[in-house]
Amino acid sequence: MENQNPPQIRLFLATPSDSTSMLTEEVKNTLLKAGMEIVQVSNDSDELDFVEEVRSGIAQVNCSLHILGNEYGRTLEFDESVSYQKFQFQEARKRIEEGRDEFKMFIWYPPDTLLSIKEDNQAQFIDEVRTSILNNMIFTNADSSIRLVNDIRSMMTFDEKVKFDIKEAEVFIVFNELDESEADEIIDMLSDIIDPIEKLTIVQDSDMDYSEYCIQQGGVSKLVIIYFKNTADWALPFTQKVWKSAGGASSDTSIVLIGTDDPESNVGKKFNAPKVVSLIVAGELIALEIKVQYDKVLEALSN
């Protein structure tokens, strides 16, 4: 019988400055009692060892925790503008930016720190953190270590992904049910020159994990098309989610987000990212433009 327990939460606990060392130890004990595995690097390590151990530690966990105090603390010798705290934050943030998995960063700004006097460089660092929050970065003012750990545990859920019945395809076309009639006309025009074509109609309020389906089907398709006419507000965030979940800039999936220039509100509705082509064209030219993008993919694959 398979183990039904969720994978263990492995957390990188950022090395603190002196002002948060006792609080960090309290949090660490709470995390361990909650059954989490902790990776931490000693502040006393040789600087080169510290840098390498931080990078290695962040690479082997599924989340990190950074506690903001009122002291900037020890800085790197090779860049005195960067504290040990800031370096760990930057390295964890890099993993978020890579977008290859569901790694999460938790940044705790305790209420006591919020009310205390901070060093100027630490205040600047905290401002930088607060104004650079990305998806999968959680900034919290939880009032206790117990509340903080409970929040981390509730957010770090690992559901086993459903395996969908997918088929190899040249082109995979995705569209909202509100654009179904127009999308079917486009597919009819393409079916004589591209075969096979797989399609997916997004149904409102469905429980199906459409983004996961797109990742799996996209992995066996040469080109993924996300088409919209009346559903730009759905298409843009959906494309961004699929792109990120498929690996972001490092993805092997080629995506074309294509919409009609009617209604006029569609003009400018684009998502620009590596491996994504974003186009707004006349409705009667959609099929032709898809064929052009498909030929470009074939050419790239042959080189």
CATH code (residue 118): 3.40.50.11460
Residue type, 49: D
* φ, ψ dihedrals at 291, nearest 5°: -60, -40
The tokens for 43 are: 């502040």
18-22, 87-91, 196-200, 247-251: least confident range: 247-251
Least confident range of 71-75, 171-175, 226-230, 263-267: 71-75
Same domain, 112 and 249: no
Q: Do residues 181 and 294 both lie within one domain?
A: yes
139 and 175 inside one domain:
no
Distances (CA, A) of 108 to 105, 145, 180, 215, 296: 10, 9, 45, 33, 47
Stretch 34-56: mean pLDDT: 90
Q: What beta strand segments (E) does the chain contain?
A: 10-13, 37-39, 63-67, 104-108, 137-140, 169-176, 197-202, 221-228, 255-260, 276-281
Average of per-residue pLDDT across 211-231: 95
The structure tokens 């545990």 sit at 153
Residues 176 and 146 occupy one common structural domain: no
Using the structure block, give the residue that is written with the tokens 């998502």: 271
3-state secondary structure of 303: coil
DSSP 254-298: -EEEEEES-SGGGTT----BTTEEEEEE-GGGHHHHHHHHHHHHH
Q: Are residues 212 and 276 in the same domain?
A: yes
- Tell me, yes or no, whether 4 lies in a domain: no
Reported residue count of the chain is 303
Task: Decide: 102 and 136 in contact? Cβ < 8 Å.
Answer: yes
Mean pLDDT to the nearest integer, 149-165: 79
Helices (H), 99-191: 111-115, 120-130, 145-155, 180-190
Q: Looking at the structure, tell me whether residues 147 and 174 fall in a common domain.
A: no
Whether 178 is covered by a domain: the verdict is: yes
Q: Domain residues for 30? A: 10-155
pLDDT digits (tens, 9 = 90+) for 96-155: 988 767 899 999 999 887 667 678 899 999 999 988 888 889 999 888 999 999 889 888
Kind plus residue range of the DSSP H or E element containing 213: helix 210-218
pLDDT at 157 over 90: no
In a domain, 164, yes or no: no
Overall number of domains in the chain: 2
Instruction: Report yes or no on 187 lying in a domain.
Output: yes
Residues 140 and 259 in one domain: no
Domain match, 187 and 227 both: yes
Of 47, 34, 92, the C-alpha closest to 67 is 92
Q: What is the pLDDT of residue 159?
A: 54
Residues 177 and 247 grouped into a single domain: yes
161 is a domain residue: no
Do residues 194 and 84 both lie within one domain?
no
**What is the distance in angstroms between the CA of the first residue and the CA of the last residue of the chain?**
47
> How remote is the C-alpha of 129 from its chain's centroid?
18
CA triple 15-91-23, angle to 5 deg: 20
- Does residue 224 lie in a domain region? yes
Phi-psi region of 219 (alpha: psi -120 to 50; beta: other; left: phi over 0): alpha
Picking from 155, 177, 204, the residue at the C-terminal end of a domain is 155
144, 187: one domain = no
User: 194 and 295: one domain?
Assistant: yes
Does residue 163 sit within a domain? no
- 160 within some domain: no
Which domain CATH number covers 288? 3.40.50.2300
